[in-house]
Amino acid sequence: MRPSPQVVPFGPDHLDAATSLLSDRQRRLRALRPELPTAFEESAAHLPTLRALLERDGASGVAAVSDGAMAGFLIGYPRREPIWGRACWSPIDGSALADASDPELIRDLYAAWSRHFVELGHFRQYVHVPADDPDLTAAWFHTGFGIMQAHAVRDLELAALAPDGVTVRRALPGDIDRIEDLLPLIAEALARPPAYAVRLPEQLATYRDSWAEELEEPSAHHWLAEDGDQVLAMATFYAADPGPMVPEGAWELAVAMARPEARGRGLMRALLAAGFAEARESGATQCITDWRTAALPTHRSWTALGFRPTHYRLHRHVDERIAWAGGRRG
Ligand SMILES: CC(C)(COP(=O)(O)OP(=O)(O)OC[C@H]1O[C@@H](n2cnc3c(N)ncnc32)[C@H](O)[C@@H]1OP(=O)(O)O)[C@@H](O)C(=O)NCCC(=O)NCCS
């Protein structure tokens, strides 16, 4: 039996090996998902992100080492926010295993990594896993995690006509009054069973002002579908930030909503067709988006519209009582 890798604190000496694991992973994933960017097959492309991750306030990581070689690593950082709670996060480039490593190793890494955060009261935990690595995903599931958010991609080849009587056009800065009653629709969809995801009333109160600004934002591409004077649906696109899971030059579908009574008529398909055509003209070939997988109509719509997950955000909420109920009699 081969000796198990030793799990040690992640230090500056581990950086180069970790970037190599990420570039090897990118090669593995690109064999299945050629739309992912080639640039991240180079180790050096991962260095700035990994450095930035380690420099975050409170960042902590672990590495698994076997015979002097890195078998895997896991790095994350704490966030304290009203919605997400006192939590530790590890982004998609915050972990990777060597090609030959047993996916079970992620559980040993997580045991050491999470201990640090749990001792500091970070019971909510968010990690990311490539969608095309089912064995690694299973290892996370066996440790109490579940899928919360899908991050996905599709190409921009989509032709669709708006339903009869519906016009599709770019939104203008003066459209704020016309879109205002659509703004809470995502929050409402997220709150519904079985998603039960919260948006706080004080956040909703800021929507009108922030959207009035957003309509003026030159880098945003807002599209509306309207019937006469009534806006029925809306979709907003931006050029996406680069990353290992973002096809080169991709656009991002950041916001999308349709009035409940207008859903299922092909409005979103028509808005995507319009936004995608604009993206193609700028040279893009792919679009990314993400959604809460427990929001059923949303999940089913994006899946039907051809978005295919590249990675998932997984979530685990450790029982807070572990802080005092540690198996010894009090
Ligand atoms: C997600 C949403 C924008 C879809 O808009 P829509 O105008 O209803 O979408 P379309 O009518 O263009 O339908 C697109 C595809 O999804 C499918 N679809 C739509 N609603 C569905 C549902 N409830 N269940 C299953 N499939 C559904 C349609 O059948 C269609 O597939 P098809 O063209 O192969 O038949 C809309 O449901 C919505 O506004 N939801 C609330 C807000 C939200 O969650 N936004 C996304 C945030 S990430």
**CB of 195 sitting under 6 A from ligand 1:** no
Structure tokens that stand for 74 in this block: 């896991």
State which of 223, 231, 263, 291 you would mutate to test the pocket of ligand 1, scoring each by most atoms of that ligand within 8 A of its C-beta: 263
Quote the CA–CA distance of 222 and 205 in Å, as a whole number. 21
**Cβ-based neighbours of 141, under 8 Å, separated by 6 or more:** none
| Cα(32) to centroid(ligand 1), Å | 27
Name the residue at shortest CA distance from atom 22 of ligand 1. Answer: 297
Nearest CA residue ID for atom 3, ligand 1: 257
Q: What pLDDT, on a 0 to 100 scale, did the predictor assign at position 328?
A: 67
Ligand 1, atom nearest to 303 Cα: 16
Common-topology check for domains 6-144 and 154-313? yes
- Domain 6-144 sits in which CATH superfamily? Gcn5-related N-acetyltransferase (GNAT) (3.40.630.30)
Distance (Å, whole) CA 100 – CA 96: 12
Of all protein residues, the one whose alpha carbon is nearest to atom 24 of ligand 1 is 297
For ligand 1, atom 14: residue with the closest CA: 301
Question: Candidates 301, 302, 313: which one to mutate for ligand 1, based on the most atoms within 8 Å of Cβ?
Answer: 301
pLDDT tens digits for the chain (330 residues)?
A: 566 899 999 999 999 999 999 999 999 999 999 999 999 999 999 999 999 999 999 999 999 999 999 999 999 999 999 999 999 999 999 999 999 999 999 999 999 999 999 999 999 999 999 999 999 999 999 999 999 999 999 999 999 999 999 999 999 999 999 999 999 999 999 999 999 999 999 999 999 999 999 999 999 999 999 999 999 999 999 999 999 999 999 999 999 999 999 999 999 999 999 999 999 999 999 999 999 999 999 999 999 999 999 999 999 999 999 999 987 665
Residue whose CA lies nearest to ligand 1 atom number 46: 256
Looking from the CA of 237 toward its CB, the CA atoms found within 13 Å total 26
Helix or strand or coil: residue 11? coil
What separation in Å is there between the alpha carbon of 50 and the centre of ligand 1?
36
Topology (CATH) of 154-313: Aminopeptidase (3.40.630)
> How close is the Cα of 200 to the center of ligand 1, in Å?
24
CA distance 297 to 317: 25
268 pocket-lining for ligand 1 (C-beta < 6 Å): yes
Q: Is 306 in the pocket of ligand 1 (CB under 6 A)?
A: no
Expressed in angstroms and rounded, the spacing between residue 293 Cα and the centre of ligand 1 is 13
Could you tell me the distance, in angstroms and rounded to a whole number, from the CA of residue 302 to the centre of ligand 1? 7
- 245 vs 152: CA distance, rounded Å: 9
- What is the residue extent of each domain of the chain? 6-144, 154-313
- 0.95 exceeded by pTM: yes
Q: Is the CB of 259 under 6 A from ligand 1?
A: no
Regarding the beta carbon of 149 and ligand 1, being less than 6 Å apart is answered no
Q: How far is the CA of 301 from the centre of ligand 1 (A)?
A: 4
Give the torsion through C-alpha atoms of 115, 117, 119, 122, to 10 deg: -130
DSSP symbols for 162-177: PPTT-EEEE--GGGHH
Question: Which pLDDT value is given to residue 330?
Answer: 53
